[in-house]
Amino acid sequence: MRIVHLSDIHLSKDNFDELTYNYLDALIRDLSTFNSPIPIDLIVITGDLVDKGGHSLLGMKGFEGHTNPYHIFRKVFIEPVAEQLGIPLHRFLFVPGNHDVDEREIRLYDEHMLCKDINLQSVHGYLETNSGFVNNLRIKKFKDFEKEYYHGNDDYKFGVNQSTFFFERSGFKIGFILVNDSWRCKSIKLKSDSEKLFFGARQLNEGLQDLEGKGTDLNICLFHHAVDDYAEEAAVKGILQRKNIELFLYGHFHNAQTNVYHTPYGSCLGFRTRAALFKPEELVSEYHCGYQILDFDLDAYKVVQVHYRKYNYQESGKNFNPDVETAPNGVDKNAPNGSNGFILNREGREPKAPELPIEEFIS
């Protein structure tokens, strides 16, 4: 199985020309080279599809009459990639990021009350209220688009706080928990704000419950933020380590990182990717644009390798090349740890033993 992981595209009026005239063609060319030998199964986008609520897109020529910026994102980004690579639209998964928040929908009084009332004890109760966007409309346009995008897909279940998606490949069942961890995000903090982001760890438990009847062999979470950004960091890590969530993907920081959460009770892997587009002219190399591709060996129950790709904006060709700053030759096989790949962990599941040639049994 092969999954493409993009994040932090931040589509806006400022980078629209770069997307249209250079970036999108380069991305499709690069993805095509990977889609030929091993077909791409899924493309996931872990937040910040648009920049600052997408308002600059709505004012652009050619998009008059649009009221939801995610319709524009679908038209100019998702659909061309899907068409050129021959990947069905429902194989694109996405979650909201902090820039997908529509700050024009944040009312000061409601925000003051949320800051006053939400804490580690009350956040779970609030999530039940938030299931209908009560007093919190900031992420509604994104979630409305998401619900419309997957309408009629029986493998998808919508939720304001988290959605789930079920995918099966050669009899191997994979569940995705699409987490809305940006429902408390805004650009201006009040004095009563917590330094950490209230997340609501029950989103993971409820997502797992939704997938329970599917009999999944592998569960993957899509976040936007890092786990240590959450006020419930310890609780979230505990769920990731102890329950049947083997992998999580996220973005937000615009650079790449690998997380390994391991305890005697279980483990979980996390992969963060570069910003896919945002500011292509960025001078600091660590924050240059890029993305990653994860290759899975489902029989061996591991991520065999991660391909890191980097967009060379300064070059005249404007192509994607191996990201050698993140990994040697742009590929991470977890070799320093003495293994070929990242082993996934699930209680009661053993990796399939490699088959030996018959000669090994002949004396």
Q: Collect all residues with Cβ–Cβ distance below 8 Å to 353 and sequence separation of at least 6.
A: none
Residue 361 has pLDDT above 50, yes or no: no
Percent of the chain with pLDDT over 70: 92
State the chain's mean pLDDT as an integer. 90
Residue 210 has pLDDT above 70, yes or no: yes
CB 229 within 8 A of CB 197: yes
Percent of the chain with pLDDT over 90: 73
Most confident of 6-20, 98-112, 127-141, 195-209: 6-20
Q: Tell me the sheet residues that pair with 166.
A: 175
CA–CA gap between residue 1 and residue 84 (Å, rounded): 20
Sign of the torsion angle spanned by Cα atoms 165, 166, 169, 173 = positive
Average pLDDT over residues 320-337: 91
Q: Collect all residues with Cβ–Cβ distance below 8 Å to 295 and sequence separation of at least 6.
A: 1, 2, 38, 303, 304, 305, 306, 307
Average pLDDT over residues 237-247: 93
Of the candidates 3, 2, 8, 5, the one whose C-alpha atom is nearest the C-alpha of residue 225 is 8
CA–CA gap between residue 263 and residue 267 (Å, rounded): 6
DSSP character at residue 358: G
More confident call, 199 vs 292 = 292
**Residue 347 confidence (pLDDT):** 63
C-alpha 279, offset from chain centre: 19
Average pLDDT over residues 150-165: 96
pLDDT, tens digit (0-9, with 9 covering 90-100), for 122-148: 988 888 777 767 667 899 999 999 999
Residue 239 has pLDDT above 70, yes or no: yes
**Residue 124 confidence (pLDDT):** 85
Total residue length of the chain = 363
The pTM assigned to this predicted structure is 0.93
pLDDT, tens digit (0-9, with 9 covering 90-100), for 162-185: 999 999 999 999 999 999 999 989
Residue 29 has pLDDT above 70, yes or no: yes
**Residue 211 confidence (pLDDT):** 96
**Residue 87 confidence (pLDDT):** 97
CA–CA gap between residue 241 and residue 229 (Å, rounded): 17
CA–CA gap between residue 20 and residue 196 (Å, rounded): 37
Q: Are strands 247-250 and 257-263 parallel, antiparallel or unpaired?
A: unpaired
Residue 251: burial class (beta carbons within 10 Å; 0-12, 13-18, 19+): buried
Residue 66: burial class (beta carbons within 10 Å; 0-12, 13-18, 19+): middle
CB 216 within 8 A of CB 210: no
Quick one: CA torsion of 148, 150, 154, 160, rounded to 10 degrees?
Answer: -70
**Residue 353 confidence (pLDDT):** 45
Q: Which 3 state secondary structure label does DSSP give 51?
A: coil
Residue 90 — very low, low, confident or very high, per pLDDT cuts 50/70/90?
Answer: very high
* Matching residue, tokens 């240590």: 228
Average pLDDT over residues 12-23: 97
Residue 349 has pLDDT above 70, yes or no: no
**Residue 352 confidence (pLDDT):** 46
Residue 356 has pLDDT above 60, yes or no: no
Opening angle at CA 215, ends 152 and 89, nearest 5: 30
Residue 362 has pLDDT above 60, yes or no: no
**Residue 222 confidence (pLDDT):** 98
**Residue 363 confidence (pLDDT):** 34
pLDDT, tens digit (0-9, with 9 covering 90-100), for 32-41: 999 988 999 9
pLDDT, tens digit (0-9, with 9 covering 90-100), for 32-81: 999 988 999 999 999 999 999 999 999 899 999 899 999 999 999 999 99
Average pLDDT over residues 93-116: 91
